[in-house]
Structure 1
Amino acid sequence: MNLSNLLMFKCKIIEISKFALKPLSSLEFLDLSRNWLYNTVLFESTSELGLSNIKVLNISDNPIYELSDKFNFWKNVWFRNLREIIIQRGDIKKCDFHALSRIEKLRKLDLSGNRIETISPYNFSYLEILDLSNNKLVLLPDTCSKKMFSQTNFYPALKVFHLQNNRISFTLALNIIGSCLKNLTTLDISFNPIRMMFYFAIVNCTNLEILRMDHLLGPIELYDFAFASFNLKELYLGNNVMGYMEGFNFTTILMFNPTLLVLHLTNIDLSHVNLTSMLFNLENLTELSIVHCKVENISPLLGFPLLSVLNLSFNYIQKLDSRSFQGLTNVKLVSFQSNRITSLEQSSFPNFIWESSEIIFDFSSNPFDCGCHLEWFKEWMKRNKNRTFGHLYKCNTPKEWNNQSILYLDTRECHMPSQFLILSFTIIGFISLFIFSIIIVRRLRWYSKCYIYDRKNKKLLMPPRNNQTEFLYDGFVSYNTRDRKWIMSELIEKIERKHEYKLCLHERDIIPGEIYVDEILKCIDCSRKFLLILSNNFMDDQWCLFETEIANHALASGKGDTLFLILLEDINSQYITRSLRTLLNSVAHAEWTTNKSGLKLFWKNVLKFMDET
């Protein structure tokens, strides 16, 4: 039989006979993922097979509990020509690569999404891609064996190494990895609780081009010259929580990186860092992304003739000066999304940036103060619709234009002939309105106010509830970031780690870069429950009040059983609004206390709410 590709994924297969696959001598690609095939079944079904041309085997999402010599179906000659093995989301805890010793020309091995804690290495001379992400590794895996006068490299051809989302905290072995994996070009250790990076930590990785250390879990200590490398081209560095990566001298940390092309920094406090000094030695940068880093001021970005992407979204920038961007002669994308910019002037950027048809702008989600001074920008957006996201540029002030697009800004009053004519028309209008009667005036006034209120609040409508029976999260948690300590030490510790519920936190689970309001609504829609953590900090936060309005709409829609309020403290009377009083009177809630008996009752009520379907 000349069949070359056979896909039998998600077929509920539990048994394969010994001779079922024997006629497939020309088979090159076999996908048996998402079935119920145990090690013993695979061992028996391939025991009678001879040599074949199979190159790729995917047995992901099967109950495979070990990779060892026990029931080792990999020793069958049928698999000898394999180039790629994919065993994702199995249940492997211990992994012995000796089991794959007969597959001499293996190029790619994907064991992501298992529960691997330890690995016994083996020499794979041709292995180029190794994916161990989403496992439970505590230490960096051994990549070579050193004896007194010799060294054995287990993966001499390895180019791409995925280790993200494990439990790795120590990186001392990075120097060893560098001396063993001479061909390594990509290393991903994101989503790990890494504690420190020493001096010249990756200098031995002579061919390393891409290093990903973003979304780190917990505090980290960075030493000077930690990322020094004469070959590194892309560096992604950041933490999941603001405050865990601050107080470092990034000027010296990034000093010896002359070949760096792409730099992404996320959730790092750079409020007191001079960007010009920090980036002084990175003259070859083509892409710079500094997101959620508390940047307030932009010092002149000089000496970056190759920079094509500049992303400074989700910072504290209020004003832009063209002198900061004079040197960006090759820029193609400029993003200042979700900063504190209230106005844009022609002097904010050099003329060549405004005039170039190839440059894309993103200033969405900034609190623009709309008035005559923005008329030029409104007209510029109309002429350059393909260069910006005009419908996302909303007014914050004045009140009557709140949440309205700048594209529809009414600037007719900016061109009134004279104050005398304005006064004349005002008097005539007042007399006319008076003649038509006070009743009509009042009706028109309330109609106008009602119209403005409806337009202002149109985004607060509750999205349609997810119809699926399974949710991505057990609960969405609405809280103020100043209450983060209680969230992490009490709520997460009790609900997630002890009772294994999956909660959605906006700081941790919403990835920067998307429209924040839309992402909040999506997360609420994908959550089974909705918890509001009330405090005076919460009631003083505009985003928290926005989420409170969503909760009120859910209550009005008959979904009050999905809501739960936690009161961290007594709420000041100035914050007791009609909406909050309605929630407190209609929705189950619990008050936080440090009293031992009260604390026991508190968690009993919270867990009872989470248990309800």
Structure 2
Amino acid sequence: MWFRNWIRTTKVYLGQYPQWYKCYSPQEMRKNNITFDEYNPTIEACTIVDLLVPTVTSVSLTIVFLIGLLPLIYKCRWHIRYRIYLLKQKQYRKILNEEEFVYWGFVIYSDNDRDWVHRELIHHLEEKEGLPLCIRLRDFDVGKVIVDNIVENMNCSKKIILILSNNFANSDWCRFEFLLAQDRIVSEGLECLVLIMLEEINSNNLNSGLHALITTSSYAAWSTEEPALELFWEQVITAVKYQVNSNTQCLS
């Protein structure tokens, strides 16, 4: 447009017949044999919108936002899963029938303490006392959503047994299971909870929730000494067998 206006205002000589000068581009004008004297563009037609800068800026800001968001999502991933569980919680119904329980205890433990769970806990509670336990690697349904596995089996268990150790305190997975168990603890009190302390937990490994639980609750401390070991299993078995009136039951 600036060139067209310049020609008109300065009256630059274009030859005897300006109509001979034809527009070369855009292609539509060339096909239609639009001559220079017929070219009368509007401001809107000549305004070129450069979308490159805003597009690049928008994409860059989106990428930066996502890069900043990903660490936060990773850090809060267990809390996010917990919130998803709360949204799905209404799917689980409550039954008052005591016989609906499948397990005497749902065991929350670190994989690093798995040998102790299988060697000691299962031997004394299941094999010797006949108290079936829900063990994650053994009793969870294959292919089912992991949160559903946890909640359903937890609701099918009379007690929740926490195997406390430094491995437990450092495990995101154990903290997530404990977070799900807190709903049960709140509704039924600490009577549904059995705490087993395998070792003294370092203070730098304790978060506020676990520290409050340990300092306000009784627990059975593991010992390899014979007199203390006998007392330990007596405490654990008594705590697991202690009857609690609960309305949280297994799904049929």
**Cα pair distance change 1:455/1:526, threshold 3 Å:** same
| Counterpart for residue 586 of structure 1 | 216
Give the drift of 1:481. 1.2
What SS does the aligned partner of 2:143 have? Answer: coil
Q: Look up the equivalent residue of 1:398 and give its one-letter code.
A: P
Q: Look up the equivalent residue of 2:72 and give its one-letter code.
A: K
Q: Look up the equivalent residue of 1:572 and give its one-letter code.
A: N
Q: Look up the equivalent residue of 1:499 and give its one-letter code.
A: E
Q: Look up the equivalent residue of 1:601 and give its one-letter code.
A: L
| Counterpart for residue 131 of structure 2 | 501
What SS does the aligned partner of 1:597 have? Answer: helix
| Counterpart for residue 59 of structure 2 | none
Question: Is contact 1:402-1:456 (8 Å) kept?
Answer: no
**Cα pair distance change 1:580/1:401, threshold 3 Å:** closer
Question: Is contact 2:194-2:240 (8 Å) kept?
Answer: no
**Cα pair distance change 1:581/1:553, threshold 3 Å:** farther
| 1:481 maps to which of 111, 117, 134 | 111
Which runs of 5 or more residues in structure 2 are unaligned?
1-61, 244-252
| 1:531 maps to which of 143, 153, 161 | 161
Question: Is contact 2:82-2:180 (8 Å) kept?
Answer: no
Give the drift of 1:590. 0.6
Give the drift of 1:455. 6.2
| 1:397 maps to which of 70, 76, 83 | 70
Distance across 2 between alignment mates of 1:602 and 1:401: 39
| Counterpart for residue 516 of structure 1 | 146
Give the drift of 1:531. 0.1
- Bigger helix fraction: 2
Give the drift of 1:511. 2.5
Distance across 2 between alignment mates of 1:403 and 1:578: 16
**Cα pair distance change 1:490/1:584, threshold 3 Å:** same
Is residue 469 from structure 1 mapped to residue 98 from structure 2 by the alignment?
yes
Is residue 552 from structure 1 mapped to residue 182 from structure 2 by the alignment?
yes
Question: Is contact 2:85-2:147 (8 Å) kept?
Answer: no
What is the root-mean-square deviation in Å for CA atoms of aligned residues? 2.9
Question: Is contact 1:563-1:587 (8 Å) kept?
Answer: no
Q: Look up the equivalent residue of 1:482 and give its one-letter code.
A: N
Give the drift of 1:513. 1.0
Question: Is contact 2:82-2:176 (8 Å) kept?
Answer: no
Give the drift of 1:460. 5.8
CA deviations over 1:234-266 (Å, ceiling 9, x no partner): xxxxxxxxxxxxxxxxxxxxxxxxxxxxxxxxx
**Cα pair distance change 1:402/1:594, threshold 3 Å:** closer
Give the drift of 1:458. 1.5
What SS does the aligned partner of 2:134 have? Answer: strand
Question: Is contact 1:464-1:525 (8 Å) kept?
Answer: no
CA deviations over 1:473-531 (Å, ceiling 9, x no partner): 11100011111111111100100000001000000001221111111111101101100
Is residue 458 from structure 1 mapped to residue 87 from structure 2 by the alignment?
no
What SS does the aligned partner of 1:545 have? Answer: helix
**Pair member with larger Rg:** 2
Give the drift of 1:465. 5.4
**Cα pair distance change 1:612/1:578, threshold 3 Å:** same
Say how many residue pairs are matched.
174
Distance across 1 between alignment mates of 2:73 and 2:200: 34
Give the drift of 1:400. 5.1
Which runs of 5 or more residues in structure 1 are unaligned?
1-370, 376-395, 405-452
Distance across 1 between alignment mates of 2:70 and 2:95: 34
Give the drift of 1:588. 3.1
- Bigger strand fraction: 1
**Cα pair distance change 1:497/1:559, threshold 3 Å:** same
Distance across 2 between alignment mates of 1:456 and 1:481: 20
| 2:170 maps to which of 535, 540, 547 | 540
Give the drift of 1:397. 2.6
What SS does the aligned partner of 1:544 have? Answer: helix
Is residue 598 from structure 1 mapped to residue 223 from structure 2 by the alignment?
no
